[in-house]
Amino acid sequence: MHNYKDFPEAGEYVIVTITNINPNSAFAKLDEYKNRSGMIHISEVASTWIKDIRKYLSVGNKKIAKVISVDVSRGYINLSIKRVKPTTEREKKTEWKNEKKAENLLSMVAKDMGSTLDEAYKKAGFELQKKYGLLYSAFELAATEGVSALVEDGIDKEWAKKIEGVARKNIKPKEVTVKGVLDIKSYKPNGIEIIKKGLSQSDDENVSIAYVNAPKYSIKVTSGDYRECERILKESSQKIIEYVTKNGGEATLVRVK
């Protein structure tokens, strides 16, 4: 794994591979940082008292560790395993899996460009890591917003085109959903027809409307982009509200988180 930073920062969570075990400590390679290793003191392995560290760690084990301190001048990195919460461990494992996938995607881009993976990182990968924190996030952006978003972030246009092409083929954009509740009333003799006609004013395929209980109707918008969802919800609701009020009824929208 490549990283634009030479050292991790204190408080950061990292993937490590145990390389050496002593009676009172273990040493581990930081998988996300080239040629960097750290030490895990026996007191930082588990919350309980440990008599034999080898009962908890073995050479070759992959672990999630928290960086306690970093001494750049000496190259020392102190790590802790016991300070990693289960939720953080799950999140970091998912992040690691996605970053490995992103590196494979960048390797495809490099091949298309007649380049090496190392050169691809220098041309685009490191810059995208700096901008988004995670390389996978950059590929997600490329899959949803395309070349222009990458070029705006300083990526060469030819590289941006290749990244977009690979991203669109291999990443399914996340679906985002926003919700609201329409409160609709009409006391006209043909009030029911007015409400039905009003609800039909929204013809966007991303919108779904369902009856909750009088006088409430849920409205839900699902799309690949949050801002697009918000726009559609606003416009669709406005069409409904305008029609109902124009025909003597009452209608309001309440956003639901």
Structure tokens, 223: 């799309």
The parent domain of residue 31 ranges over: 13-84
Domain end: 84, 102, 125, which one? 84
Both 80 and 91 in one domain: the answer is no
The mean pLDDT of 92-112, rounded to a whole number, is 95
Domain end: 148, 170, 192, which one? 170
What CATH number should be reported for the domain holding residue 22? 2.40.50.140
- For residue 215, whether the previous peptide bond is cis, meaning omega lies within 30 degrees of 0, is yes
Which residue, among 8, 7, 29, has the nearest Cα to 18 in the 3D structure? Answer: 29
Residue 4 lies in a domain: no
Both 122 and 158 in one domain: the answer is yes
pLDDT tens, position by position, 4-22: 899 999 999 999 999 999 9
Residue 183, H or E segment: strand 176-185
Residue 103 lies in a domain: yes
Domain end: 115, 149, 170, which one? 170
Residue 77 lies in a domain: yes
For the chain, the average pLDDT equals 93
Structure tokens, 254: 């309440």
Confidence of residue 80 (pLDDT cuts 50, 70, 90): very high
What CATH number should be reported for the domain holding residue 152? 1.10.150.190
Number of domains in the chain: 3
The mean pLDDT of 226-251, rounded to a whole number, is 92
What's the pLDDT score for residue 172?
Answer: 78
pLDDT tens, position by position, 189-213: 999 999 999 999 988 888 999 999 8
In this model, does residue 149 exceed pLDDT 80?
yes
Both 55 and 109 in one domain: the answer is no
Both 230 and 191 in one domain: the answer is yes
Which residue, among 136, 134, 163, has the nearest Cα to 150 in the 3D structure? Answer: 163
Buried/exposed code over 77-98 (b: 16+ C-beta within 10 A; e: otherwise): bbbbbeebeeeeeeebeebbeb
What is the C-alpha to C-alpha distance for residues 73 and 63, in angstroms, rounded to an integer?
A: 26
Confidence of residue 223 (pLDDT cuts 50, 70, 90): confident
The mean pLDDT of 224-237, rounded to a whole number, is 87
What CATH number should be reported for the domain holding residue 252? 3.30.70.1130
Confidence of residue 224 (pLDDT cuts 50, 70, 90): confident
The mean pLDDT of 107-113, rounded to a whole number, is 96
For residue 165, give every residue at least 6 positions away whose Cβ sits within 8 Å of its Cβ, in sequence order, or none: 112
User: In this structure, which amino acid lies at residue 156?
Assistant: D
pLDDT tens, position by position, 36-71: 999 999 999 999 999 999 999 999 999 999 999 999
Residue 2 lies in a domain: no
